[in-house]
Chains A and B, each alone.
Chain A
Amino acid sequence: MAQVLIVDDSATVRNEVSSFLAANDLSVEVAVDGKDGLDKLQKDSQIKLVISDVNMPNMDGLTMAEKVRSDLGNHGVNIIMLTTESDPRMKSRGKAAGVKGWIVKPFKGDNVVGSIKKLVS
């Protein structure tokens, strides 16, 4: 049972974000791409927040966000993107898919931990 699902194909980012959140008393699950993320979300109904990369193999983060709403019908989970992308067109697509927020990498945990905790609660 996890509160936060981190979806990123980069092990470096997965380690960085998950160790930071764990140190801030949040339970974390990780997934390596959008497809894996969807699987993990289906299996764990306790997940309150998904922090996802955009560019990933097999299934990208925006497609995953769209499928969370359309295929899983999960409107309760919050999704924020953590990505190197800052293209407004991508942000618009994310917004349309119900994404709550956007973080441009690199991850700076201290800047966002308060917001993350609010989204989890």
Chain B
Amino acid sequence: MSEEEQIVSKVLVHENDEQALSVLKDICTKNNLVGLKVCSRGTSIGLGDPSNEIGDVLNSNVDLGAIFLYEGEDLHGVTGLELCEKIHRSRPELPIFLRRDDLDSIDDLAEAEKQAIAGCYITGDQDRLQSLVEEYICSMYYPTEFAQGIAQVSEEAFNNVIPGLKVRHDMPYLVKDQIIYGELFSLIPLESAWCRGYMMLQTTESEVLDLIRSGRTQIKNERPTSTDSNNILNEVTNLIWGSIKSRYFANDHNDEETHRTQVPIMVNHHRKHISFGSSEPQLCFKYTLSCPNHEFPDIVLYQRLIFNLSWTPEKFEESDRAVDELINDGELEFF
């Protein structure tokens, strides 16, 4: 497996202790975590108002798996505990890990502080840190073959709907946040004997409208509307969904469709949050669609797979047998 195909997770680090940073770096390397330090204008960690800077990161489009903080004061006299509460209020889905000076517990903290903290560790306690990472960030196993396949079928779908595009994707990663990117998202159920959940595609409307104006899609409209951008995302979603079904769900022989559980999906428009009722990490891909002739600006799409209802990856299998039986896409199979 190449480096590009590994599943990673991004974590936000607000630390100013060299030893602690060194331990975190080791943990990040061991667990495929990408550590993002809160920086300001080329200087080191925590300059400026740290709560504002962390807020900027949280409000940006960075998908996060967790946050690492130190309980004491940073270079600006703001304590980690103060930050914990602020962050937890705005992003309650993100686990916060607190480095403490002496105590390997949060029993002494106020109730509001306890609620904000997922776990704590003392400086240098790599084992404790590792167990927190395993419990909160790497708690859901996604087969790498599955992640590779999703990226492949998705890129094919983008190219089918918008021929001639250059499509690239970042490393697949795990996220725990619930941020909605852009104004446009599609949601389609993924249902099989071994997984149940949703696929969500998110993008910005203006980018898709620019694409349509370029004449590269089947929607021929120089003044496209939101209906047109919806149509493009709808078709891409449909093609990816069909490919996932053919590739991963074709061996299912479970016709039992009844008595299946469902949970409400909650959307907070004000905060641009969407919750599927599960705190398990979601598998996320970021795609960038570029036109070789620069006829339209790059389009960024985020794809999330949220298996909030059922996930048994040990039963995962690619539908080789079923795929062998299929004729090629686009060919007419006569009955």
Contact = CB atoms under 8 A, between A and B. Distances in A.
Interface residues of B, number: 32
Contacts of A102: 332-333, 335
Interface residues of A, number: 32
B334 A104 contact: no
Contacts of B232: 12
B323 to A, nearest CB: 9
B242 A101 contact: no
11 contacts: A11-B218, A13-B235, A19-B218, A84-B245, A85-B245, A86-B246, A86-B322, A105-B239, A106-B329, A108-B331, A111-B331
A11 B332 CA distance: 21
A112 B331 contact: yes
Nearest to A98: B335
Nearest to B162: A12
Interface string A81-121: 00111111001001100011111111110011001100000
A70 interface: no
A80 B332 contact: yes
B59 interface: no
Given A85-B242, A88-B325, A103-B332, 9 more contacts: A11-B218, A12-B232, A12-B234, A84-B241, A87-B250, A95-B335, A102-B332, A105-B329, A116-B332
A16 B231 CA distance: 12
B332 A101 contact: yes
**Majority SS of interface residues in chain A?**
mixed
Contact of A99 (B227, B238, B335): B335
Complex A-B, nearest 7 residue pairs according to Cβ-Cβ distance, in ascending order: A84-B242, A108-B330, A106-B160, A12-B235, A16-B218, A15-B218, A11-B231
Nearest to A112: B332
